[in-house]
Each structure stands twice: as C-alpha cells, then as structure tokens.
Amino acid sequence: MAYLKDKLKSKKPAITISRVAVKEEKLVYIGCANNRIKYTYGRSKIAYIGTTKTGAGRIAASAAAKAKLLLNKHGINQLDFYVVVSGKRPNVITWRALESALLLTFRDIHGRVPEANKQGAKINRDKVKKLFKDTNLIKIIEELS
C-alpha cells in the first residue's frame, strides 16, 4: 500500500495567541481583515467587534467561526484579532459596555456595524457613552481601520 503524501500547508502560522489575550479574562477583541471592507461612509479593515469573559479560548473560537464568513469574501485572506481592555468599576460590566461603545463609535464613523457583527444596530447611546471618552474610542477605531 502506498504512503499518503503530507506537507506543511503554509510557513505562516494559522493562529497565534499572545500573552495579552491570556493575561486578561474579561476583554473586548477586534477582528481586522488584511484588506479594507467597504461600508456606507468609507472603508475599514475592522470586520468584527466581540467580547468575552473567558479569555483567549473564546477569541480562537470566534476567529474560527468568523473565518468561514469573512475569508470567502473577495480579497480577504487573513484575519488578525486585537485585544482591548478597560478599567474596572463596581457594579458595571465594563467589558460589555466597552464593546457597545466601540460598536456605536464604529457605526457613527462608518455608517453601520462591522461586517460580521449581528448586534449593535440598536444600542442605547446614553448608558454606554458616559463610561468612555469619545476621543479614545475614535483613536482605537481609526488605529485599526
């Protein structure tokens, strides 16, 4: 019986996890494509904004799920995920509020939520925007766009 051929598919890693994702449990992550995606008011590399309270494992699971949706689009062949954390405040789920604030800011800048996000179209602006500075949120979105 003949042996099956095996070979390394790519010299680039399929998934890389850094200490930043492992260090924090409750965080927000932003998925960015290698090419800009067209939105109502311009283009951005940001394809997804998500949150987790379980750390890097959730980011990896989300990356695998969103890869099926996004990597089938023309021109997108790589997704990078970045971690965003916030300070803590008593009786406030700050990581979820940060996700909502980032989704609102993205929607204000680009006209709609990121390509792979289903939620975020109907977020209450008053509760969320009190916790974070608009300038910092805009800086994060523009830096990754």
Output the six-digit token pair for 21: 């994702």
Per-residue confidence (pLDDT) for residue 63, from 0 to 100: 82
User: Does residue 4 lie within any of the structural domains?
Assistant: no
The number of folded domains in the chain is 1
Q: Is residue 102 part of a domain?
A: yes
Classify residue 33: in a domain, yes or no: yes
Query: Would you call 50 helix, strand, or coil by DSSP?
Result: strand
Answer yes or no: is pLDDT of 28 > 80. yes
pLDDT at 21: 66
Asked if the structure places residue 9 within a domain, the reply is: no
Domain assignment of residue 134, yes or no: yes
The answer to the question of residue 3 being in a domain is no
Structural domain span for residue 39 = 19-144
pLDDT tens, 99-132? 988 999 999 999 999 988 887 767 777 767 678 8
Q: Is 74 part of a structural domain of the chain?
A: yes
Q: Which residues touch 103 (CB under 8 Å, ≥6 apart)?
A: 49, 113, 114, 117, 119, 120, 123
Is 42 contained in some domain?
yes
Instruction: Give the pLDDT of residue 66.
Output: 81
- 10 Å Cβ neighbour count for 70? 21
